Structure formats: C-alpha cells, structure tokens
C-alpha cells in the first residue's frame, strides 16, 4: 500500500511567478522573491509541490495550452539551479466568457472550484489533512477550503519567508 504524502498546493501567478497579466512566454517568467528557495525548502521537507492555476488566457485566445506547457517547462528548468522541483502542474484553461467556443464554459477545475486539487489528490494519493494551499486571491483560498485543505493568503513579497513563517506557526 502506498503511503499518503502531504502536498503544498501553490497558485502560479502571484505566488511563484510575478503576475504581469497573462504571462505565458518563457521570457515572462520572473520568480517572486524567495519562490525557488521556498520550493526547495518544501521539497526538502518531503512535501509534494503541486501548482494549480486558472489559465483563462487559453479560453480568451491569448495563447494555447502548449504555450502554457512551455512556460511550465521554463519554470522546471529554472528551478533546477536551486535544487528545487514542481511535482505536477494542473491548469484550467476554461472560462465562461472565453472567446474560443471549445473553452467557453464553467468548469469544475476552475477556481474557486476544487477540481484541480481533487484531481491531484487522487493522482498522487495526497494526505489532505497534512496539506497546505498558498494563493494570492480569495478564489484560491475558497478552492482550498472546498477541498478541505488548510489555505493561506500570500500577501507578502517573499515566498520563502512566508513558508518559513507558516511552518513555524504550524509546527513550533
């Protein structure tokens, strides 16, 4: 029987990457201060790192799912120099006001719904009771709460400091 592991669920834009308004090109990758170090710290603690990200730019026709995948490959490449890694990326490319008909719909994966979190829990046998979600918007937190995951609003400018503070408060 596989042992269940805890995870850190991280929103992408505004938590890992600076939210510059629909970033998708590899050159749009600008880590939030302390993000790579925070991910390395989370990895070292034995947590999975799962990125969950609404990507309505796909539904709006700004970029493709392949563009999003290329952006995630760039994140993976850049994290290697910090001895850090993301275990999985989950995206929701759908939006009810999208301009591309195939993506124009409400979807259970779109935050504040918990769909991406639930898929990750099932795929990776995640222990939700020991897991944490960090997001920069109320929709992120609501998705976490709906999935019964402890959720925290990142409203600071250094993710590593935030994670250290969280860990101290959780396990003094």
Q: Pull the structure tokens for residue 143.
A: 């998705």
> Catalytic amino acids?
11, 13
What distance in Å separates the CA atoms of residue 59 and residue 113, rounded to the nearest whole number? 17
Q: Is 96 left (phi over 0), alpha (psi -120 to 50) or beta?
A: alpha
- What Cα–Cα distance (Å) separates residue 56 from each residue in 36, 41, 89, 106, 118? 25, 30, 15, 11, 20
Closest-CA residue to 42 (of 50, 52, 53, 32): 50
CA angle 55, 107, 139 (to 5 degrees): 60
């Amino acid at each position: 029987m596989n042992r269940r592991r805890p995870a850190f669920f991280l929103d992408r834009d505004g938590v890992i990457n600076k939210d510059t308004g629909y970033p998708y090109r590899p050159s749009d990758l600008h880590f939030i201060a302390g993000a790579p170090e925070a991910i390395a710290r989370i990895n070292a603690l034995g947590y999975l790192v799962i990125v969950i990200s609404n990507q309505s730019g796909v539904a709006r026709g700004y970029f493709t799912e392949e563009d999003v995948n290329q952006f995630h490959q760039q994140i993976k490449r850049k994290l290697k120099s910090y001895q850090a890694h993301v275990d999985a990326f989950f995206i929701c490319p759908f939006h009810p006001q999208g301009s591309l008909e195939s993506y124009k719909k409400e979807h259970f994966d779109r935050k504040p719904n918990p769909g991406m979190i639930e898929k990750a829990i099932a795929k990776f046998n995640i222990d939700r009771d020991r897991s944490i979600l960090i997001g920069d918007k109320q929709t992120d937190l609501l998705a976490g709460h709906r999935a019964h995951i402890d959720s925290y609003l990142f409203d600071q400018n250094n993710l590593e400091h935030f994670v250290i503070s969280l860990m101290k408060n959780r396990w003094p």
